[in-house]
Structure 1
């Protein structure tokens, strides 16, 4: 925490956000998760709490494979001194040949500040363009039953080819109270920005005081309230999948990717949006590649839905 770090006085269950004075540069939070994805293979990331989705199912094209090989690590093509995690998905429109991808961190996150630096792409690496591809950073809990009131989910979702009611580029910020798949019923709040965002973007989500605030590149563009506030611990996730309602009429294979530079979480503290990147830079300047001091929760790990 540094200048302009604020705490809530609200108590939720056993969690309390304790008021604290501003602290000088160099004072890191007690419970923090940081990863700058300086790996060469997934087995290394797995040692630091990451896992890959295998379970077939919602969302995306029905019966498509959730592809382990779709998560890889590379030199940043825009900075040879940096490494990134890459999520790669592909489809020819059929379930048999569609590969979605999802990577998840432990289910122990609730109130606090979430942040990630993500590279969104607008065009496929090859093949015809136009599919409803969704590139994401989000937190989620299992849905115990249809319309479960204790369900929690908070999403950043970029749709470079549009979808969900818009034909333009769109970044959706969505906070969920609950839903059911059949018949499709949802209780959520959402906002979206219809500007192209290809390139690096810093996404920040502040969760505290019964309020969720979504930022992109330092700008507040969505604020949701207590009606969709999360109740239970969530896993942190990145995934990339295809909207079955917006698939190009072509059997030619096409492939999309998104890159992730780093992810950062501070438990029970609202970190000012302009301080997040400074905190990350401080960790990197100390040659800290991964750090996880967030206490485990009572819940089993979760990488689905």
Structure 2
């Protein structure tokens, strides 16, 4: 099966209000043997200008001004970088557009909705007593739409976004340092309000990160121990505890650094993204759901990934 990014689709990415630099199609033999692999990565980078003039302040939100949950923020020059990793292609495109991050913020979640819209969760990391910019979700469509997230406590963070097969947006909420307690939440696509949706109780001695849903509707996440050991689990609404499937490992060596992302391809192949402790760069791995064995597919120099749709 072959893949291509149409002019229309590239135009949507280029106009999505991000800095789209190095929109790259990367491939190798391992990727070529993995059908339906079509993922997008996101990272952030300072915007470097060639003069000393002040960068104009930009309103990143183009929502109806009557919407009570819209946010209009003057953004400092920190850009988002989108990269596309698609089997069977090797081409580089570039464009530049509007930054969406402030200097004291991080991308805490990244996913694609069922209609193909990319969604980013942006979280402040300031430690000062000054009121930080609220946590928000930004839809990278045309136009860009941004919603303030409501329902979070001051010390909580929204992360690990997932656009579900049935069109919802869900995520994980925990403390800003990533520690428990963790809960699975639904995010209202119109208001940004979060609400708990699952009675699954996550362990209090392990971190929980990343959400993936396969075409069969099964939901997966990962549990991370104190030493970075990472266990693949399945979430079942009929079970009070996550179903442990297996500890992740590469070439017989236990994975020791958690994951940056976990996604499922259109054919049901589970893909992990990250790097072992003290190693770079991040890479995409195929995951055997039963054994936890991971097979390296491709290095990918980005921060988080999601499956491209639409």
Q: TM-score, normalised by structure 1?
A: 0.37
- RCO greater where, 1 or 2, for CA within 8 Å and sep 6 or more? 1
Q: TM-score, normalised by structure 2?
A: 0.37
